[in-house]
A and B are shown apart, each in its own frame.
Chain A
Amino acid sequence: MSMKKLLALLLAVVMVLSVVACTPKDPTQGTDPTGNEGTNPTGTNPTEPAGPEVVVFEGDYTYTDYVSTLSANWNIHTYETSDESYPIEFLTSGLYTFIFNDELNALEGKDPYEGYVIVPEMAAEMPIDVTETIKASRPEFGIPADATEGYAYIIKLNPDACWDDGTPIKAVDWVESMKRLLDPKLQNYRAGGYYEGGFCIAGAQAYANAGQTVITDNGVSGAYAVADLVKGADGAYTTPDGQPVWIAFDYPIDWCGGNSLKDYADAYGTGYFGMENFEKLVALMDEEGKIVCTDENLALLSSMTTTNPNWGETDADLPNYLVYQEVFPEFSYDGVGLYETGEYEITLVLNKALKGFQLLYNLTGSWLVKTDVYDACLKQEGDAWFSTYCTSAETTPSYGPYIMSDYQMDKGMHFVKNENWWGYSDGKHVYMDPVDGKIYPMYMSTEIDTVVVTEVATAKMMFLKGQLMTYGLQTEDYGAYRSSEFCHFTPGQAVYFLILNGNMEMIKEREAAADFDQTKYDLETMTLNSFHRALNLSYDRSEYSSEFNPAQSPAFGLVGTAYIYDPDTGARYRDSDQAKQVLCDVYGIDASKHESLDAAVATITGYDPVAAKGWFAKAYEEALAAGYVTDTNNDGKSDQMIEMIYSASADPSEKMQKIMKWLGDCANEAAAGTGFEGKISVVPSAPLGNDWSTYIKAGQTDCVLGGWNGSAMDPYGLMEVYTNPSYQYDAEWFDSTSINLTLNLRGEDITMNLMQWQQCMTGTAIEVNGKTYNFGDGIGTYEERLTIMAAIEKEILLGYNYLPMTQAGSMFLLTQKAFYVVEEYNPVMGRGGIAYLRYNYNDQAWDTYVASQPNGELAY
Chain B
Amino acid sequence: MFKYTLQRILYMMLVFFIITMMCFILVRMLPPLPLDPMRPETTVVAARREAMGYNKPYLVQFGIFLKNIFTDFNWGVSEKLYYGQEVVKVFVTKMPPTMLVNLYSILWTIPVGIGLGIFAALKKNSLIDYGISTLTMVTISVPSFVYAFLVQYFFSYKLSWFPFLMNSGEEYFTWPMFVSMLPAVLSLSFGTIAGFTRTTRAELTEVLTSDFMLLARTKGLTKAQATIRHAMKNCMVVVLPSIFGSFIGILSGSMIIERIFGVPGIGGLTLNAINGRDYNIFMLTTCFYTAIGLAASLVVDISYGFIDPRIRMGSKK
Question: Which positions in A face B, CB cutoff 8 Å?
Answer: 69, 72-73, 75, 78, 80, 187-193, 195-197, 209, 212, 214, 217, 252-254, 257-258, 377, 379, 381-384, 386-388, 391, 406, 408-412, 414, 451-455, 457-458, 461-462, 464-465, 467, 855-856
Chain B residues positioned under 8 Å from A257 (CB to CB) = 38
By the criterion CB–CB under 8 Å, are B264 and A411 in contact? yes
| A381 touches which of B50, B77, B149, B262 (Cβ 8 Å) | B77
By the criterion CB–CB under 8 Å, are A411 and B168 in contact? yes
By the criterion CB–CB under 8 Å, are A187 and B44 in contact? yes
List CB contacts (< 8 Å) of B237-281 with chain A: 259-260, 262, 264, 268-269, 272
By the criterion CB–CB under 8 Å, are B152 and A451 in contact? no
Given contacts A212-B47, A454-B259, A253 and B157 within 8 Å (CB-CB) = no
By the criterion CB–CB under 8 Å, are B84 and A386 in contact? yes
Given contacts A189-B41, A408-B170, A382 and B264 within 8 Å (CB-CB) = no
A80–B245 Cα distance when bound, in Å, is 42
* Nearest 4 interchain pairs by C-beta: A192-B40, A386-B84, A196-B40, A384-B51
By the criterion CB–CB under 8 Å, are B170 and A391 in contact? no
A379–B82 Cα distance when bound, in Å, is 14
By the criterion CB–CB under 8 Å, are A253 and B37 in contact? yes
A455–B164 Cα distance when bound, in Å, is 11
Residue of B nearest to A69 (CB): B272
Taking the closest CB of chain B, its distance from the CB of A68, in whole angstroms, is: 10
By the criterion CB–CB under 8 Å, are B40 and A258 in contact? no
24 contacts between A and B (CB under 8 A): A73-B82, A73-B84, A80-B41, A188-B44, A189-B41, A191-B40, A377-B84, A379-B84, A382-B53, A384-B48, A384-B52, A391-B82, A391-B84, A409-B264, A410-B269, A451-B165, A453-B164, A455-B259, A457-B149, A457-B152, A458-B260, A462-B164, A462-B165, A855-B160
By the criterion CB–CB under 8 Å, are B152 and A197 in contact? no
| A458 touches which of B47, B165, B268, B272 (Cβ 8 Å) | B165
Chain B residues positioned under 8 Å from A195 (CB to CB) = 40
By the criterion CB–CB under 8 Å, are B44 and A191 in contact? yes
Residue of B nearest to A191 (CB): B44
A386–B89 Cα distance when bound, in Å, is 15
| A383 touches which of B51, B82, B94, B160 (Cβ 8 Å) | B51
Chain B residues positioned under 8 Å from A391 (CB to CB) = 82-85
Chain A residues positioned under 8 Å from B53 (CB to CB) = 382-383
Given contacts A73-B84, A386-B83, A453 and B48 within 8 Å (CB-CB) = no
By the criterion CB–CB under 8 Å, are B262 and A411 in contact? yes
By the criterion CB–CB under 8 Å, are B82 and A409 in contact? yes
Does B36 lie at the interface of the complex (its beta carbon under 8 Å from any beta carbon of A)? yes
By the criterion CB–CB under 8 Å, are A381 and B40 in contact? no
| A382 touches which of B38, B52, B260, B269 (Cβ 8 Å) | B52
Using an 8 Å CB-CB cutoff, how does the interface string of B25-59 with A read, 1 for contact, 0 for none? 00000000000111111011101101111000000
Does B153 lie at the interface of the complex (its beta carbon under 8 Å from any beta carbon of A)? yes
What 5 additional pairs, Cβ within 8 angstroms, besides A73-B84, A410-B94? A72-B78, A391-B82, A391-B85, A411-B264, A451-B165
Chain B residues positioned under 8 Å from A452 (CB to CB) = 262, 264
| A451 touches which of B157, B262, B272 (Cβ 8 Å) | B262
Taking the closest CB of chain B, its distance from the CB of A324, in whole angstroms, is: 14
Taking the closest CB of chain A, its distance from the CB of B46, in whole angstroms, is: 8
Using an 8 Å CB-CB cutoff, how does the interface string of B60-77 with A read, 1 for contact, 0 for none? 000000000000000011
List CB contacts (< 8 Å) of B75-97 with chain A: 76-78, 81-85, 90, 93-94
| B158 touches which of A189, A193, A377, A855 (Cβ 8 Å) | A855
A209–B41 Cα distance when bound, in Å, is 12
Residue of B nearest to A197 (CB): B40
By the criterion CB–CB under 8 Å, are B44 and A258 in contact? no
Given contacts A258-B36, A455-B260, A462-B164, A409 and B43 within 8 Å (CB-CB) = no
| A192 touches which of B43, B51, B93, B168 (Cβ 8 Å) | B43
- Most B CB within 10 A of own CB, among A196, A406, A856: A196
Given contacts A386-B84, A467-B164, A187 and B47 within 8 Å (CB-CB) = yes
| B157 touches which of A69, A75, A465 (Cβ 8 Å) | A465
Q: When A and B form their complex, what is the total count of cross-chain residue pairs whose Cβ atoms lie within 8 Å? A: 129
Chain A residues positioned under 8 Å from B153 (CB to CB) = 461
By the criterion CB–CB under 8 Å, are A409 and B157 in contact? no
Taking the closest CB of chain B, its distance from the CB of A323, in whole angstroms, is: 9
Chain B residues positioned under 8 Å from A188 (CB to CB) = 44
Chain A residues positioned under 8 Å from B82 (CB to CB) = 72-73, 391, 409
A209–B83 Cα distance when bound, in Å, is 22
A414–B169 Cα distance when bound, in Å, is 11
By the criterion CB–CB under 8 Å, are A192 and B83 in contact? no
Residue of B nearest to A190 (CB): B41
Does B303 lie at the interface of the complex (its beta carbon under 8 Å from any beta carbon of A)? no
Does B156 lie at the interface of the complex (its beta carbon under 8 Å from any beta carbon of A)? yes
Using an 8 Å CB-CB cutoff, how does the interface string of B179-221 with A read, 1 for contact, 0 for none? 0000000000000000000000000000000000000000000
| A410 touches which of B39, B160, B260, B264 (Cβ 8 Å) | B264
| B85 touches which of A72, A187, A197, A453 (Cβ 8 Å) | A72
By the criterion CB–CB under 8 Å, are A214 and B84 in contact? no
- Most A CB within 10 A of own CB, among B41, B45, B93: B41
Chain A residues positioned under 8 Å from B260 (CB to CB) = 454-455, 458
| B51 touches which of A254, A382, A856 (Cβ 8 Å) | A382
Chain A residues positioned under 8 Å from B157 (CB to CB) = 461, 464-465
By the criterion CB–CB under 8 Å, are A458 and B40 in contact? no
By the criterion CB–CB under 8 Å, are B165 and A410 in contact? no
A196–B37 Cα distance when bound, in Å, is 12
By the criterion CB–CB under 8 Å, are B168 and A412 in contact? yes
Taking the closest CB of chain B, its distance from the CB of A608, in whole angstroms, is: 42
A410–B266 Cα distance when bound, in Å, is 11
Chain B residues positioned under 8 Å from A386 (CB to CB) = 77, 83-84
A214–B48 Cα distance when bound, in Å, is 12
Taking the closest CB of chain A, its distance from the CB of B51, in whole angstroms, is: 4
Residue of A nearest to B156 (CB): A461
Chain B residues positioned under 8 Å from A212 (CB to CB) = 47
A388–B47 Cα distance when bound, in Å, is 19
A197–B45 Cα distance when bound, in Å, is 17
By the criterion CB–CB under 8 Å, are A381 and B52 in contact? yes
A191–B164 Cα distance when bound, in Å, is 41
Taking the closest CB of chain A, its distance from the CB of B176, in whole angstroms, is: 15
Using an 8 Å CB-CB cutoff, how does the interface string of B221-243 with A read, 1 for contact, 0 for none? 00000000000000000000000
A765–B169 Cα distance when bound, in Å, is 60
Taking the closest CB of chain A, its distance from the CB of B187, in whole angstroms, is: 13
Chain A residues positioned under 8 Å from B166 (CB to CB) = 411
A381–B45 Cα distance when bound, in Å, is 15
Chain B residues positioned under 8 Å from A451 (CB to CB) = 165, 168, 262
Given contacts A383-B51, A465-B157, A453 and B37 within 8 Å (CB-CB) = no
By the criterion CB–CB under 8 Å, are B152 and A461 in contact? yes
A386–B81 Cα distance when bound, in Å, is 13
Chain A residues positioned under 8 Å from B77 (CB to CB) = 379, 381, 386
| A461 touches which of B40, B45, B164, B264 (Cβ 8 Å) | B164
- Most B CB within 10 A of own CB, among A73, A80, A414: A73
A78–B79 Cα distance when bound, in Å, is 11
A17–B174 Cα distance when bound, in Å, is 64
Taking the closest CB of chain A, its distance from the CB of B6, in whole angstroms, is: 37
Given contacts A189-B45, A192-B43, A454-B259, A388 and B84 within 8 Å (CB-CB) = yes
Chain B residues positioned under 8 Å from A383 (CB to CB) = 50-53
A411–B37 Cα distance when bound, in Å, is 35
Residue of A nearest to B165 (CB): A451
By the criterion CB–CB under 8 Å, are A409 and B36 in contact? no
Chain A residues positioned under 8 Å from B44 (CB to CB) = 187-189, 191-192
Residue of B nearest to A384 (CB): B51
Taking the closest CB of chain B, its distance from the CB of A93, in whole angstroms, is: 23
A190–B168 Cα distance when bound, in Å, is 31
A408–B83 Cα distance when bound, in Å, is 15
A384–B52 Cα distance when bound, in Å, is 6
Chain B residues positioned under 8 Å from A254 (CB to CB) = 37-38
A638–B260 Cα distance when bound, in Å, is 57
Chain B residues positioned under 8 Å from A214 (CB to CB) = 43, 47
